[in-house]
Structure 1
């Protein structure tokens, strides 16, 4: 009688036991099923506890993501549609194509997330959605769909800043207290900031031109790496990292950017130009037209990746020293969090590990799947905001998306005025090990 009642009252557990092999069920899914049962207080007749459940929706660029996360940090359900394969064929992200693919997939992705979680829209506490920054046409799809949901089901709406969500993802997977230093490196951004609270950031530095992920993608396209038999289905950054493992970075000399600037800003356009000059020169030497694979792609990939890693590590080192000198961070909260798509690059992580080890800092990164754009980080940011009582809206009148958006309070001039010199920690030598 007990188990008959148990299974009849908890359809989600039935799904776990009867789901066919097509759906991706894991031991983690079973754990989530039990979590749903425990949250419903089947074993507690008083039923006093009502969990907060947030649906997160992400469409800032080229991934359509959704997830349901609860206020204890459980990922109840998630789904993601990647457009990478399409954009590899077109040679880059075309906004109107990305928009159309979001439109075609967003309803399915949200439905899969809810089905997976066993949660109905009526049970949600709020809907959180990325509204800034990002591609205008992509942001518009997510916002339009979300507003229809919140208006139909009378749910609070939580607008999310995409980069703030990346910065706080680590608090879902690790016990990290405020304040901490964060480095956000992706296809669209390169940011160093101090996270003082849920919506309280001090901007130390950012890219002055292109972002590292964007630059790596462009170099990969110029090298025609989609024609390489090992890289035809990889994004540009992944292809560069993969081939760099086989190459010798010493064969080509590229200058690390901004060596004589005492700030924490980044610049990758000069590096991209330098790499392009090398590629053009090698094409002439090998008698190849643009669009054909060079024999030395592994060495060029290794050289480019190395300079990117050194530049990021040097600027991050200065940020650490500034935070210590200014008293913003102490030894008790000496943590560097690295997130964003480029954070999954293991060579760049090694460079940052060398820097953090030299300064007795902890280096933390979310799992790779949470470093790239996803619905989980949006839902979690919604939970963080709900807890802090920040930006939970019960009226969505005049809600707009913002393709460009500032990030925190800019104190980059104070960093420059501090004129901190970065000591040598033999980064080049240590990366050879």
Structure 2
């Protein structure tokens, strides 16, 4: 394949000069987005009218389920195998060719290094071959901004970004201007839900064998007949900041699970009878912790006049935003404080090429960070988001009481107190 030949000739291409025509925004601007930050190969094509022309997503979820989590080496090889097919499929659905694309947006940070490198190398290959500008994209910024493709969301607004790799609260002031209020001190919520699902052996239940651990927990929780059976102490209740911690909840679940396994004298792959109730309990604890920290972020913004009364908006994005109970929990808190709550469609909450293409389009509109070349040295697996304001939030010493949510698990994900 041409791309694999290119991979062997990267050094040669890197020293070759080429001319890249100037790019200005119009309604006819065409952006190709490439996302390979973790375990999914996503591509999308959008135009200057904010229309999604074509997209593709090659998911590795079924394969990584066997490993109990993302295996970086496997992810890298699958990205290499799928990247050309994913781009070709997105372009074909859009009825466009690579030469008709005006710019290529690609995730450069953060994520798995070996995964990011595949997407960036392929974007560089297309950029050089067709003399197209290239737009580097911060993965978390893309998650925070993609809701603007679907809703009228003027700046500023607050974002709660929750996924398998990240958990953060930030103020979105512009497409390249973010203020970080809080982040996870240990595990991300999606990571914890995946791990507890594995420990509860949910994959041994046929209905959950082909879905992610987090999705399995949500599905099992909906079947709970006694969602209050297992109670969890919420993390960081005495810490007046907006940081998160989920590892303690994971450890607490394991202790409760071991106790029940001993009570029932279970062995091997046997599952406790109360597994649905345990899923309901951990899901509720995660939702309450997220809601508690989000409430403080809203109060901090009001105290410091960062959000005007007529502009009270919060976006929930990332893979865990697909969890209806968690989203409705955040929405409940926001409603009580006069905030409107938004989330992108489920297919763009998880990693995807649409959000990358959209971020690229917004940068082209603003003539921001459009490159003729992109160095592989700019690939950064640990890139933070925005200006860190965590210490200032802590210094504000804002007291807020955690809202204990009664758990109503149904298809609508309704929440009451």
TM-score, structure 2 as length reference: 0.90
**365, 376, 395: which one pairs with 1:417?**
395
**Helix, strand or coil at the partner of 1:90:** coil
Gaps of 5+ in 2: 1-25, 409-414
Q: How many aligned positions are there?
A: 385
Q: Give, in angstroms, the shift of residue 102 of structure 1.
A: 0.9
What corresponds to 1:226 in structure 2? 203
Aligned to 1:272: 250
What's the counterpart of residue 120 of structure 2?
143
* 1:388 partnered with 2:366: yes
> Of 276, 280, 296, which aligns to 1:318?
296
Deviation at 1:395, TM superposition (A): 2.1
User: Which residue of 1 is the match for residue 108 of structure 2?
Assistant: 131
Q: Which residue is equivalent to 1:170? A: 147
Asked whether the equivalents of residues 132 and 405 of structure 1 are also in contact (C-alpha less than 8 Å), the reply is yes
* Cα offset, 1:386, TM superposition: 1.0
Match of 2:82 in 1: 105
Superposition deviation, residue 355 in structure 1: 0.5
Asked if 1:330 is matched to 2:308, the reply is yes
Number of the residue aligned with 2:17: none
Do 2:142 and 2:359's aligned partners in 1 also have CA atoms closer than 8 Å?
yes
Superimposed CA distance per residue, residues 369-421 of structure 1 (whole angstroms, 9 cap, x where no aligned partner): 11010000000000011111211111224543111111000111111111111
Give 1:249 deviation, angstroms.
2.6
Select the residue among 375, 378, 386 that pairs with 1:408: 386
Query: Structure 1 pair 215/421, CA: closer, same or farther in 2 (3 Å)?
Result: same
State the SS of the aligned residue for 2:314.
strand
Question: Partner residue of 1:257?
Answer: 235
Please state whether the residue corresponding to 1:260 is helix, strand or coil: coil
Alpha carbons 2:284, 2:405 under 8 Å: kept: no
Aligned counterpart, 1:89:
66
1 CA distance for matches of 2:241 and 2:269? 38
User: Residue 338 of structure 2 aligns with which residue?
Assistant: 360
Where does residue 272 of structure 2 map in the other structure? 294
Cα deviation digits, residues 131-168 of structure 1 (max 9, x gap): 11111111111111111110111111111100000000
Whether the 8 Å CA contact 1:283–1:290 is kept in 2: the answer is no
**Aligned equivalents of 2:286 and 2:318: distance in 1?**
15
- Shift of the 292–429 alpha-carbon distance from structure 1 to 2, 3 Å rule, reads closer
Of residues 350, 356, 367 in structure 2, which corresponds to 1:378? 356
Q: Aligned-pair RMSD on alpha carbons?
A: 1.5
SS in 1 for 2:173: strand
- Cα separation, 2, equivalents of 1:309 and 1:176: 24
Alignment check: 8 A CA contact 2:244 2:293 kept = yes
Q: Is this contact kept in 2: 1:252–1:303, CA < 8 A? A: yes
Give the match for residue 194 of structure 1.
Answer: 171
Give the one of 97, 109, 118 matched to 2:95. 118
C-alpha distance in 2, partners of 1:209/1:425? 23
Q: TM-score w.r.t. structure 1 length?
A: 0.86
Residue by residue, what CA displacement relative to the aligned partner does 1:160-216 show, whole Å, maximum 9, x if unpaired?
A: 100000000011011100000000000000010000000100000000000000000
SS in 2 for 1:324: helix
Match of 1:76 in 2: 53
Segment of structure 1 superposing worse, 381-390 or 213-222: 381-390
8 Å contact kept, 1:222–1:291: no
**CA positional deviation for 1:428:** 4.2
* 1:244 alignment partner, one of 194, 210, 221: 221
